Chain A
Amino acid sequence: MRRKKQKPEEVAARKDNFSRRDFLKGASVAVSGGLLITEAQAAPKAPGAEAVAGPGRVAITLKINGKPQKVNVEPRVTLLDALRDYLDITGAKKVCDRGVCGACTVIMDGKPVYACNLLAIQAEGHDIVTVEGLSHGDQLHPVMTAFIEHDGQQCGFCTPGFVVACKAFLDKHPNPTLDEIEEGLGGNLCRCGTYAGIRPAVLEAAKAMKGGKANA
Chain B
Amino acid sequence: MPKCKYDWPEAGERKLIGQRISRVDGPVKTSGKAKYTYDVKLPGMLYAKILGSPYAHAKITALDTSAAESMPGVKAVRKIQDVGTEIQWAGDEIVAVAAESEDIARDALDKIKIEFEQLPFLVNEEDLSRAGDHAKAAGTEKSGDPDKAFSDSDVVISEGYYGIQTITHCCLEAHGSVAEWTAPDTLKTYFSTQNVSGIPGELGEALRQANIDVKNNNVETICQYVGGGFGSKFGADRWGVENARLAKLANKPVKLLLERDIDLIVAGARPSSYAKVKLAAKKDGSIVAWQSESWGTGGPAGTTMPPLPYVLTGIPNKITRHTSVGTNTGPARAWRAPNHPQAAVLTMCALEDLAAKLKMDPLAFFMKNADLAGDRGKVYQEELQKAAELIDWQKNWHPRGHPTPGPIKRGLGISMHTWGGRGHNSNCNVNIHPDGSVEVDLASQDLGTGTRTVIKIVAAETLGLPLEAIGLNIGDTKYPASGASGGSTTVGGVSASTRRACVDARDQLFAAVAPGLGVPADQLVAADGKIQVQGDSSKSLTWKQACSKLGVKTIQVTGKNPGPCALGSSGVGGVEMADVNVDTETGIVKINKMVCAQDCGLIIDLKTAESQCYGALIMGITYALFEQKIMDDVTGRMLNPDMEFYKLAGIGDIGELVVHMMTGPGYDERGTIGLGEPPVISPGAAISNAVANAIGVRVSTIPITPEKVLAALEKGEVS
The interface of chain A, by Cβ under 8 A from chain B, is 1-3, 5-6, 8-17, 21, 25, 74, 76-77, 81, 84-85, 88, 90-98, 100-101, 103, 130-132, 134-135, 138, 140-141, 143-144, 147-149, 151, 153-160, 163, 181-183, 185-186, 188-199
Contacts and interface: CB of A to CB of B under 8 A. Distances in A.
A90 B28 CA distance: 12
Nearest to A196: B614
Interface centre among A132, A135, A149, A155 (most CB of B within 10 A): A155
The 6 lowest CB-CB distance pairs between A and B, nearest first, are: A91-B32, A193-B618, A157-B227, A193-B615, A155-B448, A156-B29
Contact of A93 (B114, B170, B172, B447): B172
Interface of chain A, main secondary structure? loop
Interface of B: 22-23, 25-27, 29-36, 38-39, 41, 47, 51-54, 61-62, 91, 101-103, 106-107, 109-110, 112-120, 170-174, 225-230, 259-261, 447-449, 607-608, 610-611, 614-619, 622, 642-644, 648-652, 654, 657
Nearest to A201: B30
A183 B652 contact: yes
A13 B51 contact: yes
B31 A95 contact: no
Given A3-B119, A90-B32, 4 more contacts: A2-B120, A93-B172, A155-B448, A196-B657
B652 A90 contact: no
A192 B107 CA distance: 34
B54 A191 contact: no
Given A85-B47, A197-B611, A17 B32 contact: no
Contacts of B650: 182, 186, 188-189, 195
Contacts of B618: 190, 193-196
A158 B41 contact: no
Nearest to A187: B650
Interface centre among B26, B54, B113, B170 (most CB of A within 10 A): B26
Contacts of A9: 115
A151 B38 contact: no
Contacts of A17: 261, 642
B653 to A, nearest CB: 8
Nearest to A101: B643
A66 to B, nearest CB: 16
Given A98-B643, A153-B448, A159 B101 contact: no
A189 B643 contact: yes
27 contacts: A5-B61, A8-B62, A90-B32, A90-B38, A93-B39, A93-B173, A96-B643, A97-B260, A98-B642, A140-B27, A148-B22, A148-B23, A148-B30, A151-B607, A154-B611, A155-B171, A155-B172, A155-B448, A156-B29, A156-B448, A157-B227, A188-B650, A189-B643, A193-B619, A194-B618, A195-B649, A197-B614
Given A131-B31, A131-B32, A182-B652, A154 B449 contact: yes
A85 B41 contact: yes
Contact of A191 (B39, B101, B648): B648
Given A90-B32, A156-B29, A192-B615, A6 B39 contact: no
A81 to B, nearest CB: 6
Contacts of B230: 191
Contacts of A188: 650-651
B518 to A, nearest CB: 42
Contacts of A132: 31-33
Contacts of A13: 51-54, 91, 109
A212 to B, nearest CB: 20
A16 B651 contact: no
A155 B619 contact: no
B114 A95 contact: no
A15 B51 CA distance: 11
Given A12-B109, A147-B30, A154-B448, A90 B41 contact: yes
A202 B271 CA distance: 37
Nearest to A97: B260
